[in-house]
Amino acid sequence: MKNFLSVHDAASIDTLIERARAIKADPVAHGATGRHKTLINLFFNPSLRTRLSTEKAGTTLGFQVITMDMAGGWKLEFEDGVVMNLDRAEHVKEAAGVLSQYCDILAVRSFPALEDRAADYEDRIINAFKKYATVPVVSLESATRHPLQSLADCITIAEHRRKERPKVVLTWAPHPRQLPQAVPNSFAEWMTAWGEVDLVVANPEGFDLAPEFTAGAEVLHDQTKALRNADFVYAKNWSAYADYGATTERPDWLVDTDKLAVTNDAYFMHCLPVRRNVVVSDGVLDSNRSLVLEQANNRTWSAAAVLEALLAG
Ligand code: SN0
């Protein structure tokens, strides 16, 4: 694997899942994989799981791991051909070139501004690093995708499925803030590419994800209908793609035990952080159906499988 920016970079999802589960089963046996190699993680916005699980994956494999918070540093210029006489101290061309000399794998985290859809969907930060770095680049969540989360979700579903082809429902849920589409975009893209589940996406009218991500899934605007016979229910809020960045209240979309009664005793999933009793009730999160901590655990093993595949080239 050359880079890891989306599911399209993965030659085989099943091989990545297999490798993640093998490293998870015996982390110590893989402690030499990244020996004398350096992983640099760059964060343009804050993170808890992604930062710590990727650092843990790197150190588990024996990498030297360096993490840098770019929010507190100087601002990078991403535009080509500009006169750099304002506040942006360094062009990404130099920054990516310099960092490539200090590491063997470069991982980058960025967020969308949720104002200009075309600008966000260009995914400029991650693509600039891909263009100018001379080492493999990993997305630690970009403006439009969160592939390490989605791979962790595939691992979690593979570990818990009780039938060959489970029904997986991705449902929009309420949230007080304006959130990116990266997690649901990526989840839909990975589930359909994996081809081992039936994916249904449920969201209020006006909140359909970009069609390029949901192709191959059924999209419904009736949550109860979508949840019927589900084996896995993945809740996530996202702001609108059509009326870009718009939000809506819709407390009736909260996931609670009554909603899950129509499912096939479904497992509950969420990428975290989750707003209790806004997105999902305490009753669901605290029940034995919740897989949220196992998803977070699998973030380490998904990152480890990806780092291993990138070293292999
Ligand atoms: C992020 C998101 O993309 O929706 C992180 C997902 C990995 N979620 C949040 O930032 C939630 C923040 C909040 O205030 O609840």
Residues with CB under 6 A from ligand 1: 146, 177, 179-180, 182-183, 271, 273, 275
Residues 6+ apart with CB under 8 A from 73: none
DSSP classification of residue 163: S
Quick one: which of 65, 62, 74, 61 has its CA closest to 40?
65
**Contact (CB, 8 A) for 154 and 186:** no
pLDDT digits (tens, 9 = 90+) for 159-191: 999 999 999 999 999 999 999 999 999 999 999
Q: What's the confidence (pLDDT) of residue 36?
A: 98
pTM passes above 0.95: yes
Quick one: which of 30, 38, 41, 46 has its CA closest to 63?
38
Which residue type occupies 297?
N
Q: What's the confidence (pLDDT) of residue 71?
A: 87
How far is ligand 1, taken at its centre, from the CA of residue 163, in Å?
A: 31
pLDDT digits (tens, 9 = 90+) for 238-281: 999 999 999 999 999 999 999 999 999 999 999 999 999 999 99
**Contact (CB, 8 A) for 76 and 70:** yes
CA 168, 169, 175, 179 torsion: positive or negative? Answer: positive
How far is ligand 1, taken at its centre, from the CA of residue 149, in Å?
A: 12
* Ligand 1 atom having least distance to the Cα of 141: 7
Residues 6+ apart with CB under 8 A from 33: 61, 62, 307, 308, 311
Q: What's the confidence (pLDDT) of residue 72?
A: 81
